[in-house]
Structure 1
Amino acid sequence: YIVELLTERQKLGPFLHVLPLCSRLLNQEIIRASGLFPNKSLSDFERFEQESPLRTLSQHPNGRPMDLEGWPTMQTEENGLLQRMGPYQASAMGWHGAVGIPTTPVVKRVVRLDVPVDKYPNYNFVGRLLGPRGNSLKRVEATTHCRVYIRGQGSIKDAAKEEKLKDKPGYEHLNELLHVLVEAECPEEMINARIDHAVSILENLLKPVDESLDQYKKQQLRELAMLNGTLREESPSVSPSMSPSPFNTTGMKRAKTGR
């Protein structure tokens, strides 16, 4: 049970800023189920949570909002308590080392999706994939358990930097047209389902939609306004001037390049 809780908490990472109460309740249940604090009341959990590394990760200890681009650091914040859970944490991070679970062959598969930039040269595919501060892409990864890499021409924020990197080791992809790599590494019987799930989502996102009908983009603009603290609930929509492009929005996360 504790393994399932920790796994669920890891998946919640990209959604912490919009689901703070879910995160708080999950933290309390992890503390209770771990047995580290037996016979404690709910008020005791709440008091402990305020001083714990398992506090809501959308805030710093001094109460200031956390930069949500730093979501991978959640593991560092958890160490104070999760080190005491030892094998539970190792099991929750995936199938590696899970106690009592028979090992199966682990395989790696990579699938390439070409972005139709030749048909739609002016469409902002990178911005649509990434979303505000990279959160849209993080959600795809969290949902599908796959890694997604944006590659090729236009995958780097700075065009001048991209030109300089073209001939360097690890950046050969910059000489190719824009594309997406979907990577999964997991037990053999699971890998096709994970890859197919990710490909299905990404193929749908790579279909251009008229801006006036694009509900997905409207959701991204609303999220960006929330992150910037400029959202007005009484407004039916967010200003069109707030472009989600990763090339002109300072808070947007850069596409993953070069390994």
Structure 2
Amino acid sequence: MGLHHVGHVIGDMEGAARFYRRLGFTVAPAAYPVLPGVEQPFGAANAHIYLGDGFVELVAVLDGVPGEARPIPLRVPDDKLPGLVAAVRAASAAIAGFLERFQGLHIVIAATSDLDAVAARLSAGGVGHGGVHAIQRPVETAAGTAMEPARYLEISGPPPEGRIGFAENGPDSAALAVEHANGASALVECVLCVSDQEVGAARRRYEGWAGVRIVAASALPGLLPGERPPALPAFVAYAVSVRDLAATERFLRGNGVPIVTTGSGEIFVPAEAALGAAIVFRQG
């Protein structure tokens, strides 16, 4: 399967949401998790941009109670609560570290239809992970707020490029797709840039992952003209498919968004203008 979601770590949630709306994305209201028995807000605030079965997540570390973000109660069995609290705290600390490294793309979660099988395969292969977490989270749909089951696991000791893991889509995930003014319809790919010497190791690490493109630092300008990685290794871009690329280009130019055309005819918003992560628009 492909990507479940990518996470764009930013310092200013409200500013990032405004920018993404300028790009023509429909951005869900920002929210932060609230867990049973945990009184103070903790973890990270996020906002989702739903694209078919996948989504882009805007992520900002909580600093006190967020001004306009909504509290989102997460339902979890009592025996699973301590583990989930620990996982959320660890993820928040990791996100803070990611932002110190650079603002941009730091989270890539692959989609799977059988998370338990993935967990067993990882354990058998000696790959550490935090176990499968099952929660219920409220999501906004055309019919109103609904509770969607969510199950995920994260790889322990994440690689230096960021936080990676696997997640299952809920049975009604397709209902979360919304219309976007730029015509975006699906999350299709992310780009991991590594040093030329590390290409082989990175390909082995992501073997079997659909939607992750590995590119050597020397080859990045050929793929995305003018782009330079903020660090090595780093997730440097993600791609979305659109219904009509020419219409998307007109929309972006009309909103004063800087875009670059690649030799293959794709267009992208440079990372320098897009809060640290290049955003590629591809004909669907």
Question: Shorter-chain TM-score: what band?
Answer: under 0.3
With normalisation by structure 1, the TM-score equals 0.25
Q: Quick check: which one's strand share is greater?
A: 2
With normalisation by structure 2, the TM-score equals 0.24
